[in-house]
Amino acid sequence: MAESVVLPHTYRPLGARVAAAAAVVVLVAIIAFLWAMLSDEVQAQFSLFQRVTVLAVFGAMVFVLYGVFRTAARAEDRGLTVVNGFVVRRLEWTQVVRLSFSRNGPWALLDLDDGSTVAVMAIQSADGDRASRSARELAAVIADQTRIDPDD
């Protein structure tokens, strides 16, 4: 039986966040090292356009990694907010039918009342038992929040 979850509660992938953060650190270190290894004469040969281009490419890579890092699902009393990279989807509990999760799939999926599905990249099978526990918890929250009160 899944433990009771106190709302609001945020789910985040562990492996993807660690990998994104490590990749940013490595990218910064590599770029800084390579620039430092160039002689002053070679550095001076870079035009402003070339410098801006290198920084733009570097910035784009960091931006994509930030999107991976910010992935989350936040369960609150009023609904569920799913953040997959830079796409944010706010769902009311009445829209959510169920959560499915399989270790064979990359992440959890929400089945919605309109027949569509939404990926919940915050719960990734790569996180193993942690992801399974998170999926059970979120499924229990969904069941609790979507329960129809017979007095209504």
What is the value of pTM for the model shown? 0.86
Output the 3-class SS for the chain. CCCCCCCCEEECCHHHHHHHHHHHHHHHHHHHHHHHHCCHHHHHHCCHHHHHHHHHHHHHHHHHHHHHHCCEEEEECCEEEEEECCEEEEEEHHHEEEEECCCCCCEEEEEECCCCEEEEEEEEHHHCHHHHHHHHHHHHHHHHHCCCCCCC
Angle between helices 14-37 and 48-69 (to 10 degrees): 160
Q: What is the pLDDT of residues 73-122, one digit of tens each?
A: 999 999 999 999 999 999 999 999 999 998 789 999 999 999 999 999 99
First to last CA, the chain: 28
pLDDT of 152 strictly over 80: no
pLDDT mean over 26-51 = 96
Q: Encoding tokens for residue 55?
A: 């920084």
Query: Any idea where the domains of the chain sit in the sequence?
Result: 1-147
Q: Which of 90, 89, 86 is nearest to 70 (CA)?
A: 86
Read off the pLDDT band of 4 (50, 70, 90). Answer: confident
